[in-house]
Structure 1
């Protein structure tokens, strides 16, 4: 019964209310949102985006199903059945203006800044997806360089031979399953490797601290494997829109765009998971699945309710 009422609301009542308010104010929903002075940039972007998604006009294509791209080796996000159209920020703004008439130039300026946020988030999804479906290539110098950087930044003093070698038992010390780290990248492709490389290069001391803690005989875990798994978590949070509740609310003087934003989220989530894992006092690595699921539920709730990556009372 609840489901039926929800469907009826979405199909009939919602649009009737929009039409009535439009007739009463003489302004479309997007214009009313843009004129509201009580909304933050993030709130405004979420509300405008919702209006675009529910629009019956062609502008729905601007945001519907993330507007995925198909060029070269880049595939659509099949799980979402996404559109194959790609819109630049300029085209998106022009298309909205061609359908919606705005009375004040100030609204056009707010529309531009809002559409920039919406389009940048979708561009980020495409960048991340491209990395995810890219396989490790032995002949690609940048791929091999990331492995070398991970090894050089995270190698432990008691490893003995500190020279980089492409395969060997030393990779197990970093938390890979076997002697060839590439075999663990299949699920997340180069994206998993890039995240580990960013953590190791940008936050070397913190990454080493987590690596050493992961060697604890009682509450230890596989550092690299966990990092790849948490890359998948970040990917899901990005893909299904959870991370936009951070992306849209960034402080302008600390604004991060592109893969840099995704990598920063990964680092924070990895640190939070490490603390959550220790707090949970696992009896063995066999508890990983249960703890990981609980962590995911909490991190989603934290982001959606507080618009930042925090757990309980701790903030990075």
Structure 2
């Protein structure tokens, strides 16, 4: 409870030491220098560090969600959206400017794509950018599948739904998600060293960024998996989206709830 409610500072070592001390007291672990006791104390602290690290990733993802998307006022976001368009439609030049119905070609629902990111904010745009950049051919293939008569659903808006599912898995602290994030911590960073000589994973920006990138990859995996399910389900219209996505979400939650 303390780990989940105590605000995280820039230096989480104090929180680790505080909670570890409480555990040692409850479990009656003394300050004996015996190898057995020392190993137990070390493992407890390392476990606490990993739990706090996942919390840091959760907080960082939440901060990205709180950043609004506005291509008309944010040049960087405008450039990201333009780049996403070019990756998905390399042979089609958008001629209507920033605000145009042409955005519907890649699955936005109005003239301003910014409005479709409400709720998931910049995190959803980050995911869409990562997907189209690292798995360009897969993204183009899914866009094509989603654009077929009878199979149509908006590609970009579906991506926002995928981001929401990723966030749900993260906030639920599903075992598979936690483990994937924890494995981004380099093994050498987990080794016991002299007190104060090692930075906690949650306090290292590169390590936190690596943990956050797990969400990008999970997003890609889920988008591809849903694309395959959508096509294989033989939808008759866009009205089939809610039940099919509901089934997909339930199966994904069950899958991530168990360790693999």
TM-score interval for Structure 1 and Structure 2 normalised by the shorter chain: 0.7 to 0.9
For the 8 Å contact 1:195–1:231, the answer to whether it is kept is yes
Gaps of 5+ in 2: 31-36, 187-206
Partner of 2:80: 146
Partner of 1:86: 8
Are positions 1:247 and 2:141 aligned together?
Answer: no
How far apart are residue 196 of structure 1 and its match? 0.5
Q: Which of 207, 222, 226 is matched with 2:154 structurally? A: 222
When normalised by structure 1's length, the TM-score is 0.65
How far apart are residue 251 of structure 1 and its match? 8.3
List per-residue Cα deviations over 1:278-312 (Å, max 9, x = no partner): 222111110111111111110111112344xxxxx
Aligned mates of 2:183, 2:167 — CA distance in 1: 24
Gaps of 5+ in 1: 1-59, 68-84, 308-316
When normalised by structure 2's length, the TM-score is 0.78
For the 8 Å contact 2:165–2:249, the answer to whether it is kept is yes
Residues 112 and 164 of structure 1: is their aligned pair in 2 closer, same or farther, counting only changes over 3 Å? farther
For the 8 Å contact 1:152–1:164, the answer to whether it is kept is no
For the 8 Å contact 2:107–2:154, the answer to whether it is kept is yes
Matches within 5 A, 1:64-103: 64=5, 67=6, 85-86=7-8, 88-101=11-24, 102=29
How far apart are residue 267 of structure 1 and its match? 0.7
Number of residue-to-residue matches in the alignment: 226
Residues 250 and 234 of structure 1: is their aligned pair in 2 closer, same or farther, counting only changes over 3 Å? closer
Tell me the secondary structure at the aligned position of residue 282 of structure 1. Answer: coil
For the 8 Å contact 1:89–1:115, the answer to whether it is kept is no
Residues 181 and 249 of structure 1: is their aligned pair in 2 closer, same or farther, counting only changes over 3 Å? closer
- Runs of at least 4 residues off by over 4 Å: 249-256
Q: Which of 28, 38, 41 is matched with 1:105 structurally? A: 38
Aligned mates of 1:189, 1:250 — CA distance in 2: 22
